[in-house]
Structure 1
Amino acid sequence: MRKVLLSTVALMAMAGSAFAADLPSIKAPPPVYVPPPPVFSWTGFYIGVEGGGDFRNFHDNWTGNGIYKDAGLIGGVLGYNWQFNQFVVGLEGDAAAVLGGDQAYTYNGNLIYNNTLNSTYAAAIRGRLGMAVWDRALLYVAGGVAFGDVKVGYNNGILLPASYTTSRTGWTIGAGVDYAFTPNWITRIEYRYVDLGSGGYYNYGEFVHDGVNVTSNQVMGAIMYKFGGPVAEPVVARY
């Protein structure tokens, strides 16, 4: 009887093993694929507003006197960037109004002859070269052609007050950093040096041909909107 019972248990164990082998294997489901976040690109058109400080130096060539004038700038900016790996090249134009009153100086301390010097606008067309660093930060240098005007006012107590205004073309160079705090919105801080050269005019105070050399140091901030979103990475099927 004992042998029969042991034989029965052995046969049942073998049958259970064979039945388990015939069952399909159960595998865990594959992990859900999560695509990587889109890659930000600086390529695209942008437009915005800018403002800052304009620290301008007017130097009169005849008298040797000058004025350091602190003024404000407010205007607009537009441009286009192309990104190649980490390098970014671009072309940009901007124009701003110079906000600040006339400032006068006295020729050789003599109150008879007062001269005022002023500018009303500043503009530039610049090329840019930068490097994308720190995720969405762009460090760049920029340079190109600068435009502006110079208004000379004079009153020597003999002639009626008069003024002379001339438009100028010069050069500018600077550097700054752009930061994209969203895929479309960009902030900026930048320094620029501007040289508008020495333009001539007839100085009725001294009855001589004169000229005024104009240079400027500008510290600018801007907020800009970039058209087009980030570039999505291609989805690759994974098995």
Structure 2
Amino acid sequence: MIRIVPSLAILAGALASSPAFADNFDGPYVGVQAGWSQNKVDTLNTSIGPVVIDNSHDEATTGIFAGYNLKPTDKLVLSLEGSFNLGIDDAFIGGTTAIPTGFDPKYSFDVGARAGYLVNDATLLYLRGGYENLRAGVTRSDATNVAYDKDTFDGWSIGGGIERMIADRISTRIEYRYSDLGGDGEKFERHQALIGLAYHF
């Protein structure tokens, strides 16, 4: 008993002095992310004229993100966040046999907001939404001409995920996003599943 009581006291003191993970969800953070992305493109208005691609393509994606968490209550976390992403082997061809059309996403960025609920000190469930912008090259070919130019497509995105602290100031997260990047008379949808790793300052 003489040996056990001091040991318990030391353990209790160590637990009391250890940082709370909930404090990590308050303030700035930066991170990296990677995962799966699917671009589903039908009709687009481009600088080389209207094109019909009518195809979809799956690829890997990677990027960086940064944001700021604010805790108005013990359980609620509000965030502003921006990210920059690149696709890997993401060019594909659609159109028709007579007029094939190539679509080559170059990069994308987004800015948005998150609203999350702390299930416990280490686990955050959240919804997100915002603005997304994508730069892509478009190529249209026929029997007599090949036309190429770069265009910008933008729209809105929604999604959600779960983020968990795995160490002091370090978290990992899994997130799904849906983006609508088509304008009037256009159809351009994007689905993404991302895994991220973040450092909280």
The TM-score with structure 1 as length reference comes to: 0.70
Q: Is the deviation greater in 33-42 or in 75-84?
A: 33-42
Cα-to-partner distance string for 1:94-152 (whole Å, 9 max, x where unaligned): 01012224322242xxx332111221112110111001113301000011111112322
Aligned position for 1:215: 189
1:45 is aligned to 2:28: yes
Gaps of 5+ in 2: 1-7, 45-49
Distance of aligned partners of 1:147 and 1:101 in 2 relative to their CA distance in 1, 3 Å threshold: closer
Distance of aligned partners of 1:101 and 1:79 in 2 relative to their CA distance in 1, 3 Å threshold: closer
> How many residues align structurally?
182
Letter in 2 for 1:94: S
Rg (Cα) greater in structure? 1
Aligned position for 1:82: 70
Between structures 1 and 2, the one with greater strand share = 2
The structure 2 residue matched to 1:73, chosen from 61, 65, 82, is 61
> Would you say the 8 A contact 1:73–1:96 is kept in 2?
yes
Alignment of 1:147-158 (within 5 A): 147-158=133-144
Aligned position for 2:85: 96
CA RMSD of aligned residues (A): 2.1
Percent of paired sites with the same residue? 26
The structure 2 residue matched to 1:60, chosen from 43, 51, 63, is 43
Q: SS of 1:79's equivalent?
A: strand
The structure 2 residue matched to 1:168, chosen from 153, 169, 175, is 153
Gaps of 5+ in 1: 1-30, 200-210, 228-239
